[in-house]
Amino acid sequence: MPASVLPASSSAASGAFSGPAHASQLDVAADLLALLHDTATEPRVDPQLEALTLAVAADLPVLLWGEPGIGKTAALQQLAVTLDLPLTTVIASVHEPSDFSGLPVVGDDPATQGVPMAPPDWAVRLVRAGRGLLFLDELSTAPPAVQAALLRLVLERRVGALRLPAGVRIVAAANPRSSAADGWELSPPLANRFVHLQWVHDHEVVVRGLGGTWPRASLPRLDPDRLAESVTFARRVVCRLLAARPALVHQLPSNGARRGGPWPSPRSWEMALCLTAFATAAGTSRDVLSMLVRGTVGDGPGLELLAFLDRMDLPDPEVLLADPAAADLPERGDLRQAVLDGVVEAVRQRPEKSRWDAAWTLLVRALQDGAPDLVVVPATTLAALRRADWDVPASIEKLAGVVSLSRRADEAAARVAAVAGSSR
């Protein structure tokens, strides 16, 4: 009888599928898996990876938001290898609140000694190691009671009666509620304790990684000579912005979904200040700094901070008014607009004929080598500051056409809007 039609019992009896044969095939399968897992890394400019490593270096809790399967866990594993830190993964959604706040343990005399809160085993291992990367996964599927228990862990680094050592960094990951299994919105107190980073895939990185080479995470290189300067700069930027815009100090969003993301508070502004100092000392790109500050205080306040950073490098209006012929105006339209507005505001605060004339000279220069529409508002405002005994400078005639044209355009737009409104 051919072997192919032997009964199963006969095949087994013949030893064709004996134990050693199975073992050898599994060994071959293990070798194949080892080859598949044998990948290399390479340095590559990756803003989101750089933002993550900078926040981790600053010892701030980070929350990665991304769709399932986007590579959040793989990024954390690679980061742990780069930092030479043992990775401890805790799935927040499958734990009870007591796993983070501690389990009460009754001793011999609780009335005298009290009832200590025993920490979980993973916290004990981190304390014994003295260092590590704690990865809190599936944060958005943790129920509100577990999120409340996580508050002390994320902010104070305490689990039960234990305090995690300074060498432990905390990174969490979450899926948007729309793609999370029984997802919950993050509570505002917990959300306000994280640096929120949106994690997206780069198809070129994925293709090259599947080919065997993934990007390598690296710690930012902080310039030792710029540390004090970076702290001074970050404090000046944040404090000046909040002094000018006090409403930005604390803004709890009214929308429930936005409360679960970054929003401005004294705590998150402190994190933004810290990250600005680190980014300055490391010389990171504006894209990376934008991710970090918007991930702490939200898009609106974060963009205002970035715009304020640009304006801090702008020339002093008083210097421009002192020598308008030698003034060097920015090329970028928004920065040039800010400079011209600042010059007009300086004249308004201290109106003098010589300063008023100097401002007109600057506006004429801006008209000659820039977009005409940028001078319309400053010129209109400056004209309104004229005193009765001030002669109109000859240079103003070069701006008259631009202002007149702008007014006619505004009037035409108003007429069109009025006609459209009456036809409804």
The arithmetic mean of pLDDT across residues 6-32, rounded, is 64
pLDDT grade for 376, boundaries at 50, 70 and 90: confident
Q: What is the C-alpha separation between 248 and 264, in angstroms, rounded? A: 7
% of residues, the chain, pLDDT over 70: 84
Ramachandran angles phi, psi of 191, nearest 5°: -60, -35
Q: What is the C-alpha separation between 329 and 180, in angstroms, rounded? A: 50
More confident residue, 69 or 251: 251
Q: What is the C-alpha separation between 200 and 278, in angstroms, rounded? A: 23
The arithmetic mean of pLDDT across residues 174-184, rounded, is 71
More confident residue, 407 or 41: 41
Residues 6+ apart with CB under 8 A from 49: 75, 215, 217
The arithmetic mean of pLDDT across residues 208-220, rounded, is 84
Q: Using the predicted structure, report yes or no on whether residue 61 has a pLDDT greater than 90.
A: yes
The arithmetic mean of pLDDT across residues 73-77, rounded, is 85
State both tokens at 383: 């004209």
Q: Using the predicted structure, report yes or no on whether residue 410 has a pLDDT greater than 70.
A: no
Is the Cβ–Cβ distance between 132 and 126 less than 8 Å? yes
pLDDT grade for 408, boundaries at 50, 70 and 90: very low
The per-residue pLDDT for 104 is 76
What is the CA angle 250-252-258, rounded to 5? 135
Q: What is the C-alpha separation between 119 and 152, in angstroms, rounded? A: 13
The per-residue pLDDT for 163 is 92
Is the Cβ–Cβ distance between 259 and 191 less than 8 Å? yes
Q: Using the predicted structure, report yes or no on whether residue 129 has a pLDDT greater than 90.
A: yes
Q: What average pLDDT does the chain have?
A: 83
Nearest to 343, CA basis, from 325, 326, 324, 370? 324
The per-residue pLDDT for 135 is 94
Query: pLDDT tens across 268-317, in order?
Result: 999 999 999 999 999 999 999 999 999 999 999 999 999 888 777 778 88
Q: Using the predicted structure, report yes or no on whether residue 266 has a pLDDT greater than 80.
A: yes
The per-residue pLDDT for 17 is 47
The per-residue pLDDT for 298 is 95
More confident residue, 216 or 87: 87
Q: What is the C-alpha separation between 409 and 82, in angstroms, rounded? A: 59
Q: Using the predicted structure, report yes or no on whether residue 363 has a pLDDT greater than 60.
A: yes
Ramachandran angles phi, psi of 42, nearest 5°: -145, 150
The arithmetic mean of pLDDT across residues 98-118, rounded, is 74
- DSSP-derived secondary structure for 345-378: HHHHHS--HHHHHHHHHHHHHHHHSS-GGGGHHH
pLDDT grade for 398, boundaries at 50, 70 and 90: low
The per-residue pLDDT for 269 is 97
The per-residue pLDDT for 423 is 57
Q: pTM of this prediction?
A: 0.72
The arithmetic mean of pLDDT across residues 150-155, rounded, is 90
Nearest to 301, CA basis, from 365, 378, 237, 358? 237
Q: How far is CA 107 from CA 101, 103, 119, 215, in A?
A: 18, 13, 15, 51
